[in-house]
């Protein structure tokens, strides 16, 4: 059985790895990342999804897993993805996400 994505509105669609990959490629645009490394990242995210979910995965879980992986992969790509995924409405929401990212960096140093 294919893995189904449960969207915010309750609708379901088959998980599409190309959709994940395209989102990552857009986030990494003009960054110093090879297509191969982005494809490996997409594969790693997909593996995590399949490990955690058997039949259905909430779209929110996919977004959060993607952010988790991007945070370690490329912080600018992380912010780009977060700005779309979290629907930043103004500069304050952007600033808040940067503050969270920087605080996490400080904890890991």
Q: Is the pTM of this model over 0.95?
A: no
- C-alpha to C-alpha distance for 81 and 48, rounded to whole angstroms: 18
- Give the closest residue to 45 by CA, choosing from 67, 76, 66, 14: 66
Burial class (CB in 10 A: 0-12, 13-18, 19+), 27: buried
Counted domains in the chain: 1
Structural domain of residue 17, as residue ranges? 4-108
Helix (H, G, I), strand (E, B) or coil at 71: helix
Q: What does each of the 109 residues of the chain score in pLDDT, given as a tens digit? A: 899 999 999 999 999 999 999 999 999 999 999 999 999 999 999 999 999 999 999 999 999 999 999 999 999 999 999 988 888 888 888 888 888 888 887 777 6
């Amino acid at each position: 059985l294919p893995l189904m994505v449960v969207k915010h509105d309750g609708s379901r669609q088959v998980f599409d790895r190309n959709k994940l990959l395209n989102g990552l490629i857009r986030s990494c645009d003009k960054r110093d990342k090879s297509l191969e490394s982005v494809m490996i990242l997409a594969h790693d995210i997909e593996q995590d999804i399949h490990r955690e979910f058997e039949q259905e995965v909430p779209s929110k879980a996919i977004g959060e897993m993607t952010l988790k992986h991007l945070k370690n992969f490329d912080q600018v790509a992380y912010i780009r993805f977060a700005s779309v995924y979290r629907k930043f409405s103004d500069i304050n929401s952007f600033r808040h996400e940067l503050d969270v990212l920087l605080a996490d960096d400080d904890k890991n140093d």
